[in-house]
């Protein structure tokens, strides 16, 4: 028997209109099914009005037009692995999920370019082009689950982005749906383009400018040789100094990652890496390129590690042994479940030379608030990922965790860093934007968003006075202060930024 809630939802014209475009089975509207789309990898929650799952770019564009006719906000969604609340659908939004758009459309081996759909899982692209001796460089730790479209939205990085850059450095062009349902390309499959770099502006816009429906990416040749070194240290200071010394020596490794003692303890019963019992930190350094250069640089890295007191070194050249060295780092986040059922991952950035001071201060924050913090992060570019471990079912824990995250971000900014390295602002960090940006800065950013969301004829599609502003059509309530309250699902409604940097206190 159909419940009253189901009958009411089924009668919504929005649901019916979406079903007429993409089919009944591709529209999710029952309350119990919508629960699957109310969250991403962050702690925030908000249920959507309805979820549409288009099967093509044209269907995605038509879904936008339907949503406009019904005066609905729109939230694009990939795999939902984001960590800042970017895919959480605020304001009773229509979610346009891109999971069905998951194909590799074209591979140009000669020019090393691929065109893919946004729902393609990151690692599947490298798997697909490996037969041609090619790979796709950006590799978030969630690459077995996250999608290329989501990577574009957040300008995602990954362990191997130290030398090669983040997503924006590997995307040549994107096909997008704008606020009025128009489909167009920004950039393209060519490596050169003229005019304003609208492609670059769109990447990292966190779904607030429109929906990505195709992505042209550049591919790289698999290096002639790859050498991975794992070094264990008896103190975080030793490991941090090693990071600085490697870069100071003129070496820019393909990857330079660090894990602390808490992370080691979490991973040991899961992956059994057998790290030394006295290890307080582990570094993974990967060097790639021509054989002669790799051999020379690897020897220098080993020397620097030994000079800083490394208690153990492990090395690998072949694929399987290198994968073994990486397994713990790649799976570290999941292993934190051996310590606590919930985690909150902060994504601040600091100069490499400040790593030691900042790591000490992060530890102090945890001690003062009675929280366990594990650190597993991209040490080479100073992108910290303190993981605050807690139980969200315990009264007051979420409030403490958000307080700790705020203090850590303040520390990062005070040391000349930034609010985010790759996870975006979303809901999580919007209250802290004044730590870095002035009102004029944010006004300019909003102006750019409005330029994307207000095509000349958008008002014809969007409706009449008093309806949803087209300038907020996509992913409302994200990035800018006041858009949403981080942790509201837990009853938290206020955040205070005590040391506001360039902006005013909020």
- Cα 98 to chain centroid distance, Å, stands at 16
Question: pLDDT-based confidence at 5, cuts 50/70/90?
Answer: very low
Over the stretch 74-121, which tens digit does the pLDDT of each residue have? 999 999 999 999 999 999 999 999 999 999 999 999 999 999 999 999
- Burial class from Cβ neighbours inside 10 Å (0-12, 13-18, 19+) for residue 248 reads exposed
Residue 151 scores a pLDDT above 50: yes
Which run of H or E residues covers position 175? strand 171-177
pLDDT of 415: 97
Residue 17 tokens read as 């209109």
In order, the DSSP letters of 445-476 are HHHHHHHHH--TTHHHHH-STTS--GGG-BST
Over the stretch 301-339, which tens digit does the pLDDT of each residue have? 999 999 999 999 999 999 999 999 999 999 999 999 999
Residue 454 scores a pLDDT above 80: no
Question: pLDDT-based confidence at 166, cuts 50/70/90?
Answer: very high
pLDDT of 493: 75
Mean pLDDT lowest among 123-132, 202-211, 462-471 = 462-471
Domain boundaries, the chain: 4-97, 223-332, 431-490
Angle formed at CA 339 by CA 335 and CA 345, multiple of 5 degrees: 65
Over the stretch 63-81, which tens digit does the pLDDT of each residue have? 999 999 999 999 999 999 9
User: 4-97: which CATH architecture?
Assistant: 2-Layer Sandwich (3.30)
What's the mean per-residue pLDDT of the chain?
92
pLDDT of 88: 98
Largest CA distance in the chain: 73
For residue 139, count other CB atoms closer than 10 A to its CB.
22
pTM: 0.93
Distances (CA, A) of 25 to 17, 20, 75: 13, 11, 20
Q: Which fold has domain 223-332?
A: Alpha-Beta Plaits (3.30.70)
């Amino acid at each position: 028997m159909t419940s009253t809630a189901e009958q009411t939802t089924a009668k919504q014209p929005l649901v019916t209109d979406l079903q007429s475009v993409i089919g009944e089975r591709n529209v999710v509207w029952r309350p119990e099914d919508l629960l699957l789309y109310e969250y991403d990898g962050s702690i925030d929650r908000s249920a959507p009005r309805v979820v549409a799952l288009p099967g093509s770019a044209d269907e995605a564009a038509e879904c936008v037009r339907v949503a406009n006719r019904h005066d609905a906000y729109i939230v694009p969604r990939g795999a939902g692995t984001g960590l800042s609340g970017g895919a959480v659908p605020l304001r009773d939004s229509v979610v346009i999920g891109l999971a069905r758009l998951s194909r590799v459309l074209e591979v140009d081996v000669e020019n090393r370019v691929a065109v893919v759909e946004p729902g393609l899982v990151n690692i599947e692209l490298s798997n697909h082009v490996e037969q041609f001796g090619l790979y796709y460089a950006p590799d978030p730790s969630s690459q077995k689950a996250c999608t290329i479209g989501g990577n574009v939205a957040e300008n995602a990085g990954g362990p191997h982005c130290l030398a090669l850059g983040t997503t924006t450095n590997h995307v040549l062009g994107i096909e997008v749906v704008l606020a009025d349902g128009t489909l167009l390309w920004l950039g393209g499959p060519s490596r050169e383009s003229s005019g304003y770099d609208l492609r670059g502006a769109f990447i990292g816009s966190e779904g607030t400018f429109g929906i990505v429906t195709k992505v042209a990416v550049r591919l790289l040749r698999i290096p002639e040789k790859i050498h991975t070194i794992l070094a264990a240290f008896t103190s975080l200071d030793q490991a941090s100094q090693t990071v600085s010394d490697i870069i100071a020596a003129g070496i820019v490794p393909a990857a330079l990652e660090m894990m602390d003692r808490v992370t080691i303890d979490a991973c040991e019963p899961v992956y059994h890496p057998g790290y030394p019992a006295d290890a307080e930190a582990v570094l993974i350094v990967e060097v790639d390129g021509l054989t002669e250069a790799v051999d020379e640089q690897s020897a220098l890295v080993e020397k620097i590690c030994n000079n800083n007191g490394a208690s153990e070194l492990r090395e690998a050249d072949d694929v399987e042994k290198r994968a073994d060295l990486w397994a713990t780092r790649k799976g570290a986040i999941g292993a934190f479940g051996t310590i606590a059922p919930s985690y909150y991952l902060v994504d601040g950035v600091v100069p490499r030379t400040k790593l030691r001071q900042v790591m000490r201060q992060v530890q102090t924050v945890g001690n003062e608030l009675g929280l366990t913090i594990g650190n597993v992060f991209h040490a080479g570019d100073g992108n910290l990922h303190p993981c605050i471990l807690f139980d969200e079912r315990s009264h007051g824990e979420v409030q403490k965790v958000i307080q700790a995250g705020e203090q850590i971000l303040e520390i990062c900014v005070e040391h000349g860093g930034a609010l985010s390295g790759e996870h975006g602002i979303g809901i999580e960090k919007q209250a802290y934007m004044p730590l870095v940006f002035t009102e004029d800065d944010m006004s300019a950013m909003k102006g750019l968003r409005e330029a994307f969301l207000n095509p000349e004829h958008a008002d014809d599609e969007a409706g009449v006075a008093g309806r949803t502003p087209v300038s907020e059509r996509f992913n409302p309530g994200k990035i800018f202060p006041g858009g949403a309250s981080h942790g509201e699902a837990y009853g938290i409604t206020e955040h205070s930024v005590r040391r506001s940097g360039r902006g005013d206190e909020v």
